[in-house]
Structure 1
Amino acid sequence: MNCIQYSRFGAAADVLTLAQMPTPDPSPGEVLVELSYSGVNPSDVKARGGTRPGVTKPPFDAIIPHSDGAGRIAAVGDGVSAERIGQRVWIWNGQWQRPFGTCATHICLPADQAVPLPDAVSDQTGAVLGIPGLTAAQAVFGSGDVTGKTLLIQGGAGTVGLLAVQLAKWGGARVIATARDAGLDRASAAGADTVLNYTDTDLADHILAANGGAPVDRIIEVELGRNIDTDAQVIAPNGTIAVYGSALDMTPTLPFGPLLFKAATLDILLIYLLPKAEREACISRLHGALADGALSCPVAQVFPLAETAAAHEAVERGGRDGAILVEVQA
């Protein structure tokens, strides 16, 4: 099989190399997936760049990056029904705590990590459902039904944010999103009821005004360190702040008093560690929204396998209007 791999940390162009490896055979309980697309996420470029706290060298001698992807099951191991051969699937946790991820023409992994892809859903969309899709679904629905509630989605124009806006509206919530520049229009087009510029100095006042003066029930937060003061001002008593990022400030200072007297819940999400029942619930939500035509997964750019370094660089630059994919068979 063809693949991209790295053996040391560094810049994408310096460490990512095109290689060939024997196509693996599935072990008992596994499936072999012939991949079509691999999704590139910020966590992938941080792992390759060696920027994860406390990690000084790659955990394996050679790593095929990326955890998300989509394709078709080509073979099954013992204990897996042969009826799954030929089934279109999308992948989650492809490279989590494993050396070989989805940036290859093939991957072997446990059968439940290859989720049947609905017939009407494209492989490109499937390659976005792993980290961005599951994160958005858990951030929106992690405490249950959102019908009639008001959700604030900080960073509503990012890949996760856009999916969260759509899922929240599909779930019956009122949505206030923050963005800036062209992202304002993207978040609005995704269905947000109100879109605010997150650079406004009086953002908290605007958020409350957009909700008729009332605090919001739930916040989906992409930058905890930068936004926690605003979040503490606008969260409702017993509300939840569902956090999936804080890249600009990894050691945030919390305004404990305001959070305490709201009895606010700070729910930190790491989608790789989502328990089985919660993951299955998120998958069901994603498939339901897709079946209802309520979820679109925008793709900003697709790169061939040999140009995976450029795909990593595109993620690092930020400012994207959709996901970055690698077409692994190209």
Structure 2
Amino acid sequence: MKAITYTQTGDASVLTLRDRQPAEPGTGEVLVQVIISGVNPTDWKRRAGASGQTLDFSEVVPNQDGAGVVEAVGPGVHDLAVGDRVWVYLAQAGRPTGTAQEYVALPASRVVPLPDGASFEVGASLGVPAMTAHRALTVSEDWPDRLYPGALTGATVLVAGGAGAVGHAAIQLARWAGATVITTVSGPEKAALATAAGAHHVVNYKTDDAAAAITAIAPGGVDMVVEVSPAQNAALNAAVVSPRASIAVYANDGGDEVLLDLIPQMMVNARYQFILLYTVGEQALANGRDDVSAAAGDGALAVGESAGLPLHRFPLADTAAAHDAVEGGAVGKVLVDVRG
């Protein structure tokens, strides 16, 4: 089979197309024929050795997310069968092989039935973005730790950077769960994408007084913030959150250090929650997996420009270019077509 591998960290030039033997699924594992592999910032950062990350294995196949068809099941697997359409998440977490290959063997817990009506493009776009968004929307003191239609009725959610993949999923999931959704963007093109994703209100933080605009929409404050730029937005968040609001931080765009004015946060009992899927724990992952699948089954996680998430597609042999596109800040979702 064809696979993309690397044997040292570095820029995208370390990625090599080569032939490998497909793995046999072991006990509790599933062999998936990958149709589409999804690329996320975490994929190029791990490959590049960002934040001092080292190569854990002598040879690595990148990419955490994907969608495809079950090719074989190992002993002890009873909930999946050959021919099932599936989406996969955290394929490379603690393992040497991700989804940038024609076949991947994974623990059955990382392989999820793809709902009828959900395309492989949708399946490959779930994983890291949607499950991160789910976690960000379920850590609040006053709201449920699961998402379903009506779970967030009465809540107001602020999504920072609504045109990004996580922001897009957060808008869709919050809207599906019944929340009023406000998002901040940097320009009219991203505003159009956030609106297409389902945001009720879009604030251009470069041209508007963001705090005044958000307060006018939600005079009682926002109940949850899904935050991509905590360093840049700390003052804004302090100005617009409601009592016992959660500020869920999943990225460090704009800086690694955050300066907080403690008294405003303390007065409203604000909760900062930092999010990294690799360490959230199995229960949080299971909740996210199940709720994200339910939302996808309801058609709530559509992709494509008309749904606010343009798709950028690359063949498997051009996985390096796909990684470069994500690293370069491509707006939308980058996908690798593994099966031509």
Deviation at 1:134, TM superposition (A): 0.9
The residue aligned with 1:9 is 9
2:88 to 87, 91, 95: 91
Q: How does 1:188-207 map to 2 (within 5 A)?
A: 188-200=195-207, 202-207=209-214
What is the alpha-carbon distance in structure 2 between the residues aligned to residue 48 and residue 193 of structure 1?
Answer: 37
- Output one character per residue of 1:170-227: Cα deviation in whole Å (capped at 9) or x when no partner: 111111111122101111122211100122473212111122x221111111111111
Which aligned pairs between 1:211-290 and structure 2 lie closer than 5 A?
211=218, 213-290=219-296
What is the distance in 2 between the residues matched to 1:172 and 1:205?
Answer: 24
The CA distance in 2 between the partners of 1:307 and 1:264, in whole Å, is 45
Q: Which residue of 2 aligns with 1:295?
A: 301
Identity %: 41
Alignment partners' CA distance in 2, 1:118 and 1:201: 40
Which residue does 1:32 correspond to in 2? 31
Counterparts of 1:1-330 in structure 2 under 5 Å? 1-12=1-12, 14-51=13-50, 53-55=51-53, 57-81=54-78, 84-143=81-140, 144=144, 145-181=151-187, 182-200=189-207, 202-211=209-218, 213-298=219-304, 299-320=310-331, 322-330=332-340
Q: TM-score, normalised by structure 2?
A: 0.91
Give the distance between the partners of 1:90 and 1:64, measured in 2 at CA.
18
Structure 2 CA distance for aligned equivalents of residues 27 and 197 of structure 1: 51
- How large is the Cα RMSD of the aligned pairs? 1.6
List gaps (5 residues or longer) in structure 2: 145-150, 305-309
SS for the counterpart of 1:247 is coil
Q: Kindly provide the CA deviation profile for residues 117-162 of structure 1, in whole angstroms up to 9, marking residues without a partner as x.
A: 1121111110111101111222223441311111111111111111
Output the TM-score relative to the length of structure 1.
0.94
Equivalent-residue separation in structure 1 for 2:138 and 2:271 (angstroms):
14
Question: C-alpha distance in 2, partners of 1:201/1:292?
Answer: 35
Q: How many residues align?
A: 325
Q: 1:7 to 1:261 in 2, by over 3 A?
A: same
SS of residue matched to 1:141: coil
